């Protein structure tokens, strides 16, 4: 059940005044989130991708398939989703990134993911939702499991982080499972 004492988490469309904050977090090569979000990608590639993404955000209107995460008026991260091929098959992959480590470990990520699951089920034909991470990102795995996601795929030792091998992990949730879940409608 959601913690009533937890901070209020809001998912909203990106606004032009969010861009400086997003750019600061996304392009900072020393940002701690890079240690958890696909740390097996070469840093230079991540930096290039993030700089291109900032240019894309500056040039495009808000997209229904991505939102900023706001807590107490501060932008602390983003969520996104994409439909897996073929279109119309009902499989959507969800992503979440909390940039600011001050908001890690306090339930903000779980709450944001719960809101994003509900939004996805409300606005798409989703039958199956997935999240994909690596076995070293235990916070992401725990957050997904709290919401009813179950491990559906594990590719052993597929990722190298800091010279060590980790598994690629995918978790899934069916629409009917969410409807029965205590977070539904949260």
| Residue of 35, 1, 54 whose CA lies nearest to 140 | 35
**pTM strictly above 0.85:** yes
pLDDT band at residue 50 under the 50/70/90 scheme: confident
Domains of the chain: 9-179 (3.40.630.30)
How far is it, in rounded angstroms, from Cα 47 to Cα 107? 28
Q: Which long-range contacts (CB under 8 A, 24 or more apart) does 136-139 make?
A: 136/36, 136/39, 136/161, 136/166, 137/36, 137/37, 139/36, 139/104, 139/105, 139/109
pLDDT for residue 28: 87
| Residue of 101, 108, 180 whose CA lies nearest to 143 | 108
Owner of token pair 């008026």: 73
pLDDT tens digits along 120-150: 999 999 999 999 999 999 999 999 999 999 9
pLDDT tens digits along 4-15: 566 799 999 999
Tokens matching residue 66: 């991505």
């Amino acid at each position: 059940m959601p913690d009533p004492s937890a901070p209020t988490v809001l998912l909203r469309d990106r606004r032009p005044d969010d861009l400086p904050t997003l750019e600061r977090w996304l392009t900072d090569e020393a940002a701690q989130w890079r240690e958890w979000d696909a740390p097996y990608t070469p840093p230079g590639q991540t930096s290039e991708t993030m700089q291109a993404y900032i240019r894309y955000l500056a040039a495009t209107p808000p997209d229904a398939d991505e939102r900023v995460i706001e807590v107490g008026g501060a932008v602390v991260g983003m969520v996104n989703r994409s439909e897996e091929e073929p279109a119309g098959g009902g499989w959507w992959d969800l992503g979440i990134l909390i940039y600011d480590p001050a908001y890690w470990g306090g339930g903000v990520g779980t709450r944001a993911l719960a809101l994003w699951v509900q939004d996805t089920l409300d606005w798409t034909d989703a039958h199956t939702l997935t999240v994909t991470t690596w076995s070293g990102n235990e916070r992401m795995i725990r957050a997904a499991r709290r919401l009813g996601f179950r491990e559906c795929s594990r590719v052993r030792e597929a990722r190298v982080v800091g010279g060590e091998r980790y598994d690629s992990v995918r978790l899934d949730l069916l629409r009917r499972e969410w409807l029965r879940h205590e977070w539904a409608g949260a």
